[in-house]
Amino acid sequence: MRRTTRALTALALAAAALMGSASAATADDEAPTEAGTAFRTAVAIKQDEKATADASTGDYLYWQFPAGAGQRATVKATVNLPEASARHGAATWQLDVFDGLRRRQACTTGDRTARASEQDTTVALSCTLRTVRPWSERWANDPLPGAYYIRLTVVDVPDRDLGLPVKAEVRVGAEDAGGARAEGGALGAPLHAAAVAEPDGGWNGGWWSGRWGWTVGGAVLCALAAVGGYTLTRHPHRR
């Protein structure tokens, strides 16, 4: 009976410790509620983390996030606009993404700019980047592992609407499009990534890639075909 009581007590203490650790981790991992005003003050966010910021119409809002080799990142932003009665016309918002060297990156899909009418309550923007390469030539503008900067701002708005309060939300998602092995190389170090955490798959991606999938799948099919052929020739049907 004493052994059972001691065991239950130990389990209770362990559970309490785990709950305390989880609470501390939750407190430490709270999503950012502000944005930087320039590249140097960009607020670091994680992948799949929603960050928010209260700002004024006309402000430049900056965040930064990590992306590793083989990842295809999608940045989504939503701006909650001021009351329609306070606005004096339509406004155009723009979402830009830069790499660690502050080179603007192209969007393969998504609406990088969006125009909100005077009656709209929100405006949504998105940008899906090219797949991050594990390495590149020095002269190329290829996306490489490291930090990426998000810049969100209004680019066309009536002057009387400048300074009106807005609330911005950003989130970055990434899908794995193939690891470093698919390219046959790796970058020595991430580009200016000191302020952001390393992504789950690492800066240079995992060993798995689409090529490995096709290779393994083809090998399995060949093996099955060989076994099936051997079975048919080894045990012919009897009449």
pLDDT tens per residue across span 127-174? 999 999 988 777 788 899 999 999 999 999 999 999 999 999 999 999
**Is 190 contained in some domain?**
yes
**Is 18 contained in some domain?**
no
| Segments forming the whole domain that contains residue 91 | 29-208
In the sheet that holds 61-67, the strands lie side by side as 43-44, 61-67, 146-156, 91-98, 113-116
pLDDT band per the 50, 70, 90 thresholds, residue 203: confident
Task: Give tens-digit pLDDT for 23-79.
Answer: 434 444 688 999 999 999 999 999 999 999 999 999 999 999 999 999 999 999 999
Phi, psi of 127, deg, nearest 5: -150, 120
Task: Give tens-digit pLDDT for 206-238.
Answer: 544 444 444 445 555 656 666 555 566 665 554
Largest CA distance in the chain: 93
Say if CB 69 and CB 205 are below 8 A apart: yes
Please state the domain count of the chain.
1
**Is 149 contained in some domain?**
yes
pLDDT band per the 50, 70, 90 thresholds, residue 199: confident
pLDDT for res 9: 47
**Is 59 contained in some domain?**
yes
Q: Is 177 exposed, middle or buried (0-12, 13-18, 19+ CB in 10 A)?
A: middle
Q: Who wins on pLDDT, 192 or 110?
A: 110
Phi, psi of 195, deg, nearest 5: -90, -10
Find the CATH number of the domain harbouring 66.
2.60.120.380
